[in-house]
Amino acid sequence: MADAPLMVVDGAGVVTGWSRAAERRFGPATADALGLHVMDVLAGDSGRAAGDGEVSAGLRLEPLAGADWAFWEAAPDGGDGGDAVGTALLDVVFTQARVRLHVLDTDLDVLRISDPSAGAEDTTLLHGRPFRSVCDFEEPDRVEDFVREVIRTGVPGVEQPFQTRPDAVAGGSRTLALTAFRLQEGHETPRGALGRVLGAAVAVVDVSERVRRRGREAALIAVRDSVGRTLDVEATCRDLVNALVPGYADVGVVEVVDDVLRGETPQPGPLGPDVPLRRAGYKGENEAAHPVGDIRAVPYGTPYQRAVSDLRARVLPLDDLTWADADPARAGSIRRVGAHTLLVAPLTVRGAVLGLLTLYRCGDSEPYTEEDLPAALAMASRAALGIDNACRYVHEYTIASALQRRLLPQSPAPQPAVESDHLLLPGGGAGNWFDTIALSGARTALVIGEVAERGIYAATTMGQLRTVVHALAALDLEPDELLARLYDTAARLAEERAHLPQSDPLHREPLAATCAYAVYDPFTEKCTVASAGHPAPLVVEPDGAAFVVGLPVGPPLGAMDRAPVAAVSVTLPEGSLLALHTNALRSYSQPSSGALRQALMPTDRPMRDLCDAVARSLPDTAELRGAALLLARTHAMPPERYAAWELPYDRTAPATARRLTSKTLAEWHIEDDTGDATELIVSELVTNAVRYGTPPVVLRLILDRGLICEIRDGSTTAPYMKYAGAVDEGGRGLFIMSHLASLWGTRYAPDGKTVWSEQTLRGSGV
């Protein structure tokens, strides 16, 4: 076929198109030829005589769009030449190609439609109809805008998807991909431009299955990208429904076995009918049949119960709810939302059922088919792995939390000069710990620490450090000296980790922990604090003045660059609050604007109320989960609960001490065996102080948790217990005291030492 026809004539035989080849063939110029009758043109043709099948020698006549006809020049050898190839190509496109091709005029009416499949409707009946009505498009205006843009610009539109109306064909809405090309005359006009636009050719391909496949793939990718990123079961379930609704489902429900949510190990095999499920995730535009958090057993006879019984996914139409009586609440919800198809898949891992994934499509959405089952199983498998990981974490977290709670003091021990309480924020699995330890001389030690690890390992390390602190506190060490020995213990623990088997999770895992240790003396109203990498405590005085103790913080426990730790002493007025906290609360403890100080005002409220006020003032953020606060209100030692005397440094000192002790015990209403034992203890301790110590010798009696006797002298020589022989006159003092007192010991100061004993009281009148 030639590049362009010689001329084009309308239905009346009038010439409407004229090419340069026609000028050369017939003679008249374009301006003269347009409007002539075709017979006048052919009459003047000087070509060969017309043969069969030709209008004139060397000419072929073919129909064009509408009523127009075109005259083409035949091949010089009289054969079809390129025209035959073109004709054959058109025949293939319109009769054999598997793509439905629509030829449209400029008004977007159908001129010709290919017949790509046997048994299709008679396409001749569609000729002359608007293209928008041929395929029953859901948005015909948008389709026409697309084709007109191609006609206007000449730029082809390739595979643009459009939806058909849901009621157009059986099976619901389809997705059709339209590829459009502009049709126009191929010859050049006198100005060198292409000929007039004739219309458009639009190829229509049903890509519904391709779109469904892509939808399933997109849903799978969304589940893989968003599900399993957290170790929270409920968050994992929410992520699952958020990934599937509304892109793949109109309503999504995730239910998990209640025992699994609480950290229990799921049992393999089908789920029994009496095993309750907790609704952990829901997303949809309508109100759910059961709210999130609701616990219920799966009713027998429903598709949900069959899915957890045979562990198979299934697609079910919802036009006939034969099981509605078994689960009326859910059946009613299905009718309200207009759901027409159900896709249900069990959440299983290692043969055990963790829960159930249920998806619904409603209204005009395309129904689920059997082709959706493999994708649903893959989604359920991914979600089950995420839930299983989260459940394992919950199980381990539950164990670690229980262990940590058992390692912490259950209630603060009553102290005569210190009120204390604590706040431990839930969650986080952090190894934060604290303690209130009674020391000799009515003093109180306040301890707080933090382990960098999480879970069971944090609880283990926390328990080790807490036990060591208790043992060291019993030695009456100063805070800086106690932490120095705690550094040594942490170094040994780290060395033990280095020698663990390589399979052990703690193998060569560095030990990182912090600790702050404070000792309050109610007689001097001073608090001495030292820190190993821990934040300095906050002090809030009764008048509202607040400050952070100016404490030189040492390196954390387990650090390689260990340095000496210095202690700092501060005076705390009567009724002051001392707040020791973990690192997460550091930014809230600023004296000027911190939430901690604001929550502690006024300071004279009960300790429990103060801790509750702090909890209310803190935001619910991940960084604060597991944070700890140890709060103490300090008091001076009540004068009626102690007595002190400086004794003469001579042989009369024991007798004087016994007399003063007897009188004081009588005032405290402590008599009988306890009084006699106390006088004997005092006599022996004073005798040792006078014989082996240096002046001054001071006797102090304290009525605290028990009855405390203290003898202080200026010597730093340590007493020790001796086992005297049968004829020895001395060496029995400490031996006797150890049998009469429940506790005894020695503590040292720069100006001497104090030997003390403590007796348990059956009762007192003070």
**How far does the chain reach from its first CA to its final CA, in angstroms?**
125
Instruction: Report yes or no: 337 and 360 within 8 Å, Cβ to Cβ.
Output: yes
Same-domain pairing of 649 and 719: yes
Confidence (pLDDT) at 111: 84
Alpha carbons 621 and 588: distance in angstroms, whole number: 13
Distances (CA, A) of 305 to 250, 270, 329, 691: 22, 10, 15, 88
Torsion (CA) 16, 19, 22, 28 in degrees, nearest 10: 70
Alpha carbons 469 and 530: distance in angstroms, whole number: 13
Confidence (pLDDT) at 120: 45
Backbone angles phi, psi at 631, to 5 degrees: -115, 130
Alpha carbons 667 and 665: distance in angstroms, whole number: 5
Same-domain pairing of 275 and 385: yes
Burial class (CB in 10 A: 0-12, 13-18, 19+), 523: middle
**Is 716 contained in some domain?**
yes
User: Total structural domains in the chain?
Assistant: 5
Same-domain pairing of 36 and 61: yes
Of 6, 13, 134, the C-alpha closest to 67 is: 13
Picking from 396, 424, 457, the residue at the C-terminal end of a domain is 396
Same-domain pairing of 432 and 376: no
Check which CATH number belongs to the domain holding 41 and give it.
3.30.450
Same-domain pairing of 622 and 658: no
Same-domain pairing of 174 and 217: no
290 lies in which domain range?
A: 212-396
Same-domain pairing of 594 and 615: yes
**Is 401 contained in some domain?**
no
Alpha carbons 131 and 492: distance in angstroms, whole number: 85
Supply the angle between the helices 233-244 and 373-407 in degrees, to the nearest 10. 160
Same-domain pairing of 162 and 42: no
CA 336 to chain centre: 33
Alpha carbons 109 and 129: distance in angstroms, whole number: 5
Check which CATH number belongs to the domain holding 625 and give it.
3.60.40.10
* pTM more than 0.75: no
Instruction: Report yes or no: 285 and 306 within 8 Å, Cβ to Cβ.
Output: no
Confidence (pLDDT) at 357: 95
**Is 348 contained in some domain?**
yes
Same-domain pairing of 376 and 493: no
Question: Which residues, 6+ apart, have CB-to-CB distance to 33 below 8 Å?
Answer: 7, 15, 18, 22, 23, 26, 41
Backbone angles phi, psi at 165, to 5 degrees: -65, 145
Check which CATH number belongs to the domain holding 285 and give it.
3.30.450.40
Question: DSSP labels for 367-399?
Answer: PP-GGGHHHHHHHHHHHHHHHHHHHHHHHHHHH
Cis peptide preceding 246, ω within 30 of 0: yes
Same-domain pairing of 434 and 329: no
Alpha carbons 131 and 102: distance in angstroms, whole number: 8
Picking from 580, 603, 634, the residue at the C-terminal end of a domain is 634
Backbone angles phi, psi at 731, to 5 degrees: 90, 10
Distances (CA, A) of 448 to 97, 431, 582: 81, 11, 7
Confidence (pLDDT) at 4: 64
**301 CB neighbour count, 10 Å cutoff:** 14
DSSP H or E run through 353:
strand 352-362
Confidence (pLDDT) at 57: 55
Confidence (pLDDT) at 48: 41
DSSP H or E run through 678:
helix 672-692
Predicted confidence (pLDDT) per residue in 403-440, tens digit:
777 778 877 667 778 999 999 887 766 678 899 999 98
**Is 438 contained in some domain?**
yes
Which residue type sits at 746?
T
Instruction: Report yes or no: 606 and 633 within 8 Å, Cβ to Cβ.
Output: no
**Is 403 contained in some domain?**
no
Alpha-carbon Rg for the chain in angstroms: 48
**Is 82 contained in some domain?**
yes
**Is 765 contained in some domain?**
no
Which residue type sits at 693?
G
**Is 358 contained in some domain?**
yes
Handedness of CA 493, 496, 498, 503 (dihedral sign): negative
Same-domain pairing of 184 and 107: yes
Same-domain pairing of 440 and 535: yes
Picking from 396, 430, 455, the residue at the C-terminal end of a domain is 396
Give pLDDT < 70 ranges for the chain.
1-4, 11-12, 44-58, 61, 65-67, 74-98, 115-126, 167-172, 186-195, 412-413, 428-430, 505, 507-508, 593, 720-733, 762-766
